[in-house]
Amino acid sequence: MTNEFVAPVDRTPAAIYPEMVERNPVDISPEQLKFIQDHGSSLLTEAFYDQQMKITAETLLPLIK
């Protein structure tokens, strides 16, 4: 089984998940970051990604038991 989720990036002050966007990216060149942002995305924080994976697991696990 594979899984993919796509979290819409909200950079506005009204964002439901203000902690979703990584504010201090590491290990990425300015060019790579610009490419990602130019295509409407951003880098997610590890905590937000972990939260999304937890929600996914909690949703799918009952369906495969």
Whole-angstrom Cα distance, residue 41 to residue 22? 11
| Identity at 37, one-letter amino acid code | Q
User: What are the tokens at 24?
Assistant: 């201090």
Query: How many Cα atoms occupy the beta-carbon half-sphere of 51 within 13 Å?
Result: 9
31-57 pLDDT, tens digit per residue, is 999 999 899 888 999 999 999 999 999
Question: What is the residue range of 48's domain?
Answer: 30-64
Q: For residue 62, is pLDDT > 90?
A: yes
Apex 3 CA angle, 13 and 29, nearest 5: 55
Domain assignment present for residue 35? The answer is yes
DSSP structure string for 35-57: HHHHTT--PBPHHHHHHHHHHHH
- Total domains in the chain come to 1
**Average pLDDT in the chain:** 90
- With respect to residue 24, please indicate whether it lies within any of the assigned structural domains: no
